[in-house]
Amino acid sequence: MATQSIEIQNAALETTTYEGVVVLLGRAFFALIFLMAALGNFSPQTIQFAQSQGVPLASLAVPASGVLAILGGLSVLLGYRVRVGAWLLVLFLVPVTIMMHNFWAVTDPQMRQMQMVNFMKNVSMLGGALLLTHFGAGPWSLDARRARQARV
């Protein structure tokens, strides 16, 4: 009976190559925007823009948000402590979305539309990050490897 239970557990943990590739690609594509955009958070232009948007202590907050984006993005990309990394991205996305893409305060129709698109893009990424906080990294990740080693 115990052997049968172990076999069922192992079968549930096995995944196909297709599933592993899909989740790995999903994590990589999701992390890419954070890793590429985060470097801009250390530029004087980005800090000045954030100041013009009313971000308090922008000279500290903007680089700090860049660090959150890099750490969270790398965590998701590598599949290492993905739930923690995804929460870092949530912590990054919530204030950035509200303060930097406040389309409701923009009077120019074209700029309002552009900010609304960026706002909704961030909301969708927030949804993806929240899914990662719940479901984790998937089968092809350092987290899964660590879990497999712990079972052995």
What pLDDT, in 10s, does the model give residues 65-122? Answer: 999 999 999 999 999 999 999 999 999 999 999 999 999 999 999 999 999 999 999 9
Alpha-helical regions (H) of 53-108: 58-78, 82-100
Provide the residue count of the chain: 152
Task: List the one residue out of 32, 48, 15 whose CA is nearest residue 125.
Answer: 32
On whether residue 31 sits in a domain, the answer given is yes
Contact 26, 79 (CB under 8 A): no
* 8-state DSSP, 57: T
On whether residue 122 sits in a domain, the answer given is yes
Structural domain of 40: 16-151
On whether residue 147 sits in a domain, the answer given is yes
Residue 16: φ, ψ to 5°: -80, 165
On whether residue 114 sits in a domain, the answer given is yes
On whether residue 6 sits in a domain, the answer given is no
On whether residue 76 sits in a domain, the answer given is yes
Question: For the chain, what is the domain count?
Answer: 1
d(CA 141, CA 10): 17
Over residues 50-70, the mean pLDDT reads 96
